[in-house]
Structure 1
Amino acid sequence: MRAHIGATRPSSFLSTLALCAALTLGACGGGSSGDGPAPSAPDASVSAVTETAELTTPGLRWRGVNLSGAEYNSTSLPGRYGYQYFYPSNSAVDYFQSKGMNLIRLPFLWERVQPTLYGALDQTELQRLVTFVNSTTAKGMTVLIDPHNYGRYRQQVIGSSGVPHTAFGDFWSRLANTFKGNPKVLFGLMNEPYGMTTENWVGAANEAIRRIRATGATNTIAVPGNAWSGAYSWTANFYGTPNAQAMLQIADSGNNLVFEVHQYLDTDSSGTTTHCVSATIGAQRLQVFTDWLRANGKRGLLGEFAAANTETCRLALNGMLAYMQTHSDVWMGWSYWLAGAWASNDPFSLQPVNGVDRPQMQVLQPYLN
């Protein structure tokens, strides 16, 4: 969970090589028809085989950032484009690519893309999404498209009578038909589901996966867990059946999944304060999920994490990055939260100010070279 400027989300130093080495050594511790134009893969040399191989080859394949804007003002629907929400610019993508990043996680709102359940996708909004995705993947970047809805549609939980699993599957069928020709697009099923049974979320996710594969799409699917998909709470039961148990029932006929978790460094892992518990907390909170991945032959993606500009937070951030690098047999990559033209005042932001890199970017940089 992470609150940020301009959005309505729920309470969802430069590192040295010596420190990296110490951390690494453990010293710290049936589809419907699609809507709109289906984008073609801009880079013909990139194939679905290549993308699938990334799931079986050790190493962090994706390293990037969440570019905010299209998910802003979720209580103002559809909202006024350019004033209440926006899609990121090409220059923003270029900046992060120049730093060595190869992944953009793109949050947007389900209701803006599909104003009515089971209805056609809104052509104007879809075109904004398609334009961003095509221009970004044409640069060689990967885009993880992220319905940033917390397991809800117009405030109703997926799996309720108002938003049945089939509605979620219908939405993803339409998105999959739009993007299945572009293997540089990752399908992030949903941002941080919460306030439901884990079994309900598994049913919703399986319906979406089934409908995606029914379109013929072979794209990698990123599947979150329940309870805001916290890495630290993967085996906990305070929210019901632990993700560690229920998520083993996720089924994909295409065998091309990653499990997406989020992890922040403050006391309750919400990312709502700039306090970091300790210099080692980042690596520590990834441990239980890492063990689960390895024990069950799964792959993971850290879809959100961040740190404020304090010494403790910078050290914790470095430790988290070093930990994933060390355990890259099961970790596929990460995307930092956040950046974007309206995020300059956020204490966690990577958005440069007057062309100057943020201190957090200095921590990330050794892991991008």
Structure 2
Amino acid sequence: MKKALLCAALLAASMTHAAPLEWRGISLSSAEWGDKLPFPGVYGKDFVYPSVASTAYYQAQGMNVMRVGFRWERLQPVLMGELDPAELARLREFVNGTTARGLFVLLDPHNYAAYKDVSIGKPEVPIAAFADFWQRLALQFKGNAKVQFGLVNEPRNLPTETWGQAAQAAIDAIRATGATNLITVPGNGYTGAWSWFESTWYGTPNAEVMGKVHDPLDNMVFEVHQYFDKDGSGTAPECVSPQIGVERLKRFTAWLKQNKRRAILGELGGGANAVCEQAVNGALQHLQANADVWAGWLWWAGGPMWGDYFLSLEPTADGKDRPQMRWLKPYLKD
């Protein structure tokens, strides 16, 4: 154990000389909660937006992007309909207050490419409805250059071809509003970096489809997620090995270089133990070593409702850092 900790410390120390990537931050989760309760749920009990004040902690650590999750159905209760004024006001309060602090906000409809559990592309949820949603949302925030548009969280349960078409339709709808904001584009099958080339369970591999998605303004990055537990789900605190961080990213990195594209690691995390520390350090070192194609990363997760969740970076009740924050600090500051 002591040897493992020493190796991790030496690895982190070796990276302190490298400039941090352009984007480094955290996913603030809580406004998308409550989907299994009678919908839309009770605000302040079933779901709540993170406070603007809570972002000060992360900003002080050197983070500059707050990814905020919310539900498409709460923001747009009727497909192709107007955005809900109350929910939009909650989102706007967080966005305006956070960007006024100098931080960027990555909008995250945390819906898995579905609306009320019906996948985009089904007759009930046509691709046009997804494009309509993004057109309306872009019109609300296009005037704020510090707002970034994450198309949706972790698409699943639909053909990759359908998701590629939906992503392109959303990008086109966003750009039709005149918005020039950064767009992050996930792949199908939970957008795992390690499964970008998978062909056995979610359909046509992302590697064959997503490279065709394009932005006329060339201001988009792919968003992939990667965890280091056995099944890559991020649900277990144990990581497979100290090297697993690099192993699960390097093939996708090569794909980016080959296709002259860029990406952000939109979710990563690991339990508070020495093996995960080395895995996370290895992953972040890999990103910095390939800054030509990697734009940044975001830890999963923070937010006011997590309690003692093993991946939460929220400071403890007595104001102390979580162990994982120590791992991240060398990658946050100049």
Q: Which of 108, 111, 128 is the equivalent residue of 1:149?
A: 111
Task: Give structure 1 stretches of 5+ with no counterpart.
Answer: 1-12, 25-57
The Cα shift of 1:268 comes to 1.0
CA pair 14-175 structure 1, distance change in 2 beyond 3 A? farther
2:323 matched residue in structure 1: 359
Say whether the 8 Å CA contact 1:192–1:228 is kept in structure 2: yes
Task: Give structure 2 stretches of 5+ with no counterpart.
Answer: none
- Match for 1:140: what amino acid? G
1:338 matched residue in structure 2: 301
Q: Which of 174, 182, 190 is the equivalent residue of 1:220?
A: 182
Matches within 5 A, 1:60-99: 60-76=21-37, 77-99=39-61
Give the Cα–Cα distance (whole angstroms) in 2 for the partners of residues 14 and 184 of structure 1: 39
Give the Cα–Cα distance (whole angstroms) in 1 for the partners of residues 102 and 28 of structure 2: 17
- Cα shift readout 1:78-108 (whole Å, capped 9, x = no counterpart): 1100000001012210010011100001011
Matches within 5 A, 1:47-62: 60-62=21-23
Secondary structure in structure 2 of the residue aligned to 1:132: helix
Say whether the 8 Å CA contact 1:350–1:360 is kept in structure 2: yes
> C-alpha root-mean-square deviation of aligned residues, in Å?
1.6
Q: Which of 246, 252, 259 is the equivalent residue of 2:215?
A: 252
Give the Cα–Cα distance (whole angstroms) in 2 for the partners of residues 212 and 237 of structure 1: 31
Secondary structure in structure 2 of the residue aligned to 1:305: strand
- Match for 1:163: what amino acid? V
- Cα shift readout 1:333-354 (whole Å, capped 9, x = no counterpart): 0110001111131011101102
Q: Which of 279, 291, 303 is the equivalent residue of 1:328?
A: 291
Give the Cα–Cα distance (whole angstroms) in 1 for the partners of residues 313 and 89 of structure 2: 27
The Cα shift of 1:191 comes to 0.2
Deviating 4+ runs (over 6 angstroms): 21-24
- Cα shift readout 1:116-171 (whole Å, capped 9, x = no counterpart): 00000000100110110011011110100000001100010000000000000000
2:10 matched residue in structure 1: 18
Give the Cα–Cα distance (whole angstroms) in 2 for the partners of residues 140 and 344 of structure 1: 28
What TM-score results when the alignment is normalised by the length of structure 1? 0.85
Give the Cα–Cα distance (whole angstroms) in 1 for the partners of residues 67 and 90 of structure 2: 15
1:199 matched residue in structure 2: 161
The Cα shift of 1:17 comes to 5.9
Secondary structure in structure 2 of the residue aligned to 1:263: strand
- Cα shift readout 1:258-302 (whole Å, capped 9, x = no counterpart): 000000001111111112000110111011111111111101001
Give the Cα–Cα distance (whole angstroms) in 2 for the partners of residues 339 and 222 of structure 1: 20
Give the Cα–Cα distance (whole angstroms) in 2 for the partners of residues 145 and 237 of structure 1: 29
Give the Cα–Cα distance (whole angstroms) in 2 for the partners of residues 147 and 298 of structure 1: 23
- Match for 2:188: what amino acid? N
What TM-score results when the alignment is normalised by the length of structure 2? 0.94
Give the Cα–Cα distance (whole angstroms) in 1 for the partners of residues 294 and 223 of structure 2: 10
Give the Cα–Cα distance (whole angstroms) in 2 for the partners of residues 126 and 359 of structure 1: 35
Secondary structure in structure 2 of the residue aligned to 1:206: helix
Say whether the 8 Å CA contact 1:307–1:317 is kept in structure 2: yes
Q: Which of 129, 134, 144 is the equivalent residue of 1:182?
A: 144
Say whether the 8 Å CA contact 1:266–1:273 is kept in structure 2: yes
- Cα shift readout 1:219-252 (whole Å, capped 9, x = no counterpart): 1100000000000011111222110110011022
- Match for 2:28: what amino acid? L
Give the Cα–Cα distance (whole angstroms) in 1 for the partners of residues 198 and 155 of structure 2: 15
- Would you say how many aligned residue pairs link Structure 1 and Structure 2? 324
Say whether the 8 Å CA contact 1:14–1:363 is kept in structure 2: no
Say whether the 8 Å CA contact 1:23–1:319 is kept in structure 2: no
| More relative contact order, 1 or 2 (CA 8 Å, 6+ apart) | 1
Q: Which of 162, 165, 173 is the equivalent residue of 2:127?
A: 165
CA pair 264-161 structure 1, distance change in 2 beyond 3 A? same
